[in-house]
Amino acid sequence: MDADETRARASVVEAARGLDAQGLNRGTSGNVSLRWRDGLLITPSGIPSGRMAPEDVVFLRMDGSFDHPLSPSSEWRFHRDILQDKPAVNAVVHAHPDHGTAFAMCRQTIPAVHYMIAAVGGPTIRCSGYATFGTEELSRLALEALEDRNGCLLANHGMIATGPDLAKALWLAVEIETLCRQYAIALQVGTPVVLPDDEIARNIEKFRSYGPRPTA
């Protein structure tokens, strides 16, 4: 394992811990992956992020094979398939945050009630159909919900956020959960007003250069 791979593995662990620190995940739920060479680095199954070390991160080939004493996350299929389907995506974050998961339990799409939805790449955050976790069917449904989008909800399950790097994917995961929380509150206050598609299109253009950036 060279220094670059050690740093990449450490960044996966840091992102997984970031999910917990920001309240998006608990215990061993959720998973993180990073495109790496001709495959991907992905969090292992059953290891809490607080006990995870860089060497615990599993290198997974695109054919699904691996050489590691630990097994990759049970959701490796949709991580692998998203990276194969979306060349601009280099990182995938999956989590079970309270508000996003609540809307996923209700199988509700999140409409454009705030301009920040443009960060997801369209005027809605779609909710996929339901399939058993870890299956090819769930991966197929996730890809459908992610068409022209950077993130989605998974029915009765949780959420997915993607990005060109781990920082952007983690940032988007936080934004999706924030939008879901705000929408839940707005539904209790009254009837949220949905912004028109042309306004979201303008914001999508602005968001092409928006989001976390490296410091100087």
Task: Provide the b/e sequence for 68-106 (b: ≥16 CB within 10 Å).
Answer: eebebbebbbbbbbbbeeeeebbbbbbbbbebbbebbee
Active site residues: 75
Instruction: Look at strands 158-163 and 39-42 and give their pairing.
Output: unpaired
* Tokens found for residue 213: 């950036």
Q: What is the DSSP string of 77-103?
A: HHHHHHHHH-TT--EEEEE--HHHHHH
**Beta pairing partners, 61:** 39
Residue from 133, 117, 36, 12 nearest 75 by CA: 133
* Tokens found for residue 50: 């607080």
Phi, psi of 14 (to 5 degrees): -60, -40
